[in-house]
Chains A and B, each alone.
Chain A
Amino acid sequence: MSARRWAALFLALAAVLAGLSVWLLRPAEAGAAQVWLDGQQIAVLPLTEDTELLVELPGGGYNRIVVSSGCVAVAEADCPDGICVARGPVRGGAPVVCLPHRLVITFSGDALDSVAG
Chain B
Amino acid sequence: MKPNRLTRLALLTAVALIMFVVEQQLPPLAPIPGIKLGLANAVTLYVLRTGRARDAALVLAARIILGNLVCGTVAAMFYAAGGGLCAFAVMALLRQAVPQTWVLGVLGALGHSLGQMAVAVAITDTPALLVWLPVMLLASMAAGAFTGLCVTALLRRLRQ
Contact = CB atoms under 8 A, between A and B. Distances in A.
- A complexed with B: yes
Nearest to B116: A99
Given A99-B76, A101-B75, A83 B32 contact: yes
A109 interface: no
B71 interface: yes
Nearest to A40: B125
A81 interface: yes
B33 A97 contact: yes
Interface of A is mostly: mixed
A39 B95 CA distance: 38
A95 interface: yes
Interface stretch (A6-14, A46-54, A62-70): A6-14
Contacts, number: 94
Contact of B120 (A10, A80, A99): A99
Indicate the member of B73, B76, B79 with the most A CB atoms within 10 Å. B73
Interface of B is mostly: helix
Contacts of A39: 124-126
A86 B28 contact: yes
Interface in B1-39: 24, 27-28, 31-34
Interface residues of A, number: 36
B79 A99 contact: yes
Given A13-B141, A21-B134, A80-B72, A106 B126 contact: yes
Contact of A95 (B75, B100, B128): B128
A44 interface: no
B73 A3 contact: no
B88 to A, nearest CB: 20
B83 to A, nearest CB: 11
Q: Which 5 A-B pairs have the closest CB atoms?
A: A39-B125, A86-B31, A20-B134, A21-B135, A87-B31
Interface of A: 1, 3, 6, 10, 13-14, 17-18, 20-21, 24-25, 36, 38-39, 59, 61, 79-83, 86-88, 94-95, 97-104, 106
